[in-house]
Structures are given as C-alpha cells and as structure tokens.
Amino acid sequence: MALLTLQDIGKCYRQGEVEVQALTGIDLVLEEGEFTALVGPSGSGKTTLLNIIGGLDAPSSGHVHLNSTDLTNLNEAALSDFRLFQLGFIFQAYNLVPVLSALENVELIMVLQGRPLQERRERAEHYLALVGLKELMQRRPAALSGGQQQRVAVARALAAGPRLVLADEPTANLDSENAAALLDIMHSLSHEEKTTFIFSTHDPRVMDRAERIITLHDGSIIGDKRN
C-alpha cells in the first residue's frame, strides 16, 4: 500500500534577484515499511526534499500525499496536527530541550499528543532502553555526549508512533557499534510495525542497510534502485 506519493514536486528559492531551482519534477511513491536512503552530493536537494515531505517547507509546485492526505492543501494548524501524529523527525541538531531530562524529552511529543502519563512513561522508557540509554534516562542533554543526544532524538521520534520517520544524517555522530545498533532497531520497526523510514545520508553504513536508494543530483532524481 502506498504511504507517500510525490507528484511533480518543484521548489524554487529566491536569492536576491536570482532564482535557484532546488528541486525539479520529483515523482516518487513509497510503500508502508520501506527503508529508504536519499543520497547525492551536498546541494543536490536531499534536505529540501525531506523538509517538503515533512511539511516543514512548501513546494513551489506539485503535491505531497501522505497516508491519503494532501499536505499541500492543509493550513498551518492542520499541518501541525498532522506532523504531530503522523511524522517523526530526527535532525542532526538533535533539538532537545536543555532543561528536560532524556526521559522528559522523549515524553514531550506524547504529552502534546494527549497520551496518558503511564502510557507515555512506559513508551519513553522502552525506547530509551532500546537505544542503549536505560541508565541515563534522568540526565539532561548537557550531561550526555553528542552520540547519546542523537540516540535520545531517535527514541523521541520512535516513541511517538509515527507512520513515517524522516532522518537527516542520523548516524553522523555515532561510532560504528552504536550506528549499527540504531539501524538494526529502525530496520526491525520498518518490518514489524510497518514504520516507513527515509534517511538523507552520506554514510555508507546507512546505504548498506537501506533497502532502496534514491539518488538526487541538481534537484532531480537520477537513480532509484532496490538493494
């Protein structure tokens, strides 16, 4: 079943008097549970495409259908609600709240979702343990390494139960052992819970695990292969 459909997506930015065409004619269909990597050189459009799929940026042309909803037709309030319940984000910058513990950071999105305390606490503890942070749940971000903060961000995205997880270089700050463990967890979820993952990456470790690799160059898809 198709979870995500992109139809003729284009994105144009203005830099002063100059128009920059970041994406051109992107057509793409992803099924539930796919484990996909977006690859290509810096400036190829990977992050722009992720942001459009996640409703963080609007396309200049075309349509994004996610779970039968056309994101390009939603107003900002409806789009915010849609992101809250349907999407998970893993950013390079982590975006953790510094005054909250790792456990509270993971719980935060579930608080916004309106989940009861016991459920969100159990889910937060479960996913933090899955990413190897069982003993560090009460630490604030400043007391965690960069790699540990990244794992908190992964646990936060997964605990909210999204249909689609968008990850921008999720293994960039992880050593080989922790990167492999995280990829194993996400790969299992893609099969067991039909969670769909899209990674923007330069990391060969992610490309090796990806079941589908979509190559971008100068804002266009130039390759789409399955491993």
**pLDDT tens, position by position, 186-215:** 888 888 888 999 999 989 989 999 999 999
Residue partners of 26: CB distance under 8 A and separation at least 6 = 6, 8, 9, 10, 49, 62, 219, 220, 221
Tokens of 143: 């007391």
**pLDDT tens, position by position, 23-57:** 999 999 999 999 999 999 988 999 999 999 999 99
Domains of the chain (ranges, CATH numbers): 2-226 (3.40.50.300)
Q: Are 152 and 76 in contact (CB under 8 A)?
A: no
**pLDDT tens, position by position, 161-181:** 999 999 998 887 788 888 888
Instruction: State the CB neighbour count (10 A cutoff) for residue 227.
Output: 11
